[in-house]
Amino acid sequence: MNLQPHLSWLRDHPVALAASSDMSLAIAIVLSLMGAVVGVMLRYGGMG
């Protein structure tokens, strides 16, 4: 399953992304979780 066309389409059409609030909410949750995981890895992994 290739998501690249969908992602590029959403990037080119932010209105469509904003219109589907459920999708944008899910993307926001995923991005925040990924950011938190990366932050923890950088914080504790860098010290180790």
Higher pLDDT, 25 or 16: 25
DSSP-H helix ranges across the chain:
4-12, 14-19, 21-40, 46-47
Within-domain flag for 5: no
Kindly state whether residue 21 falls inside one of the protein's structural domains: yes
pLDDT class of 7 with cuts at 50, 70, 90:
low
* 41 found inside a domain: yes
Note the pLDDT of residue 44.
86
Is the entire prediction scored with pTM above 0.85?
no
Left if phi > 0, otherwise alpha if psi is -120 to 50, otherwise beta: which for 13? Answer: beta
34 belongs to a structural domain: yes
Give a yes or no: residue 1 inside a domain. Answer: no
Note whether residue 3 is domain-resident.
no
pLDDT of 23 above 80: no
- Considering only residues 19 and 34, tell me which one the structure prediction assigns the higher pLDDT: 34
Of the two residues 1 and 4, the one the predictor is more confident about is 4
Q: Supply the range of the domain harboring residue 31.
A: 15-47
Q: Is residue 38 included in any domain, yes or no? A: yes
> Looking at the domain assignment, is residue 8 inside a domain?
no
Q: How many domains does the chain have?
A: 1
pLDDT over 60 at 36, yes or no: yes
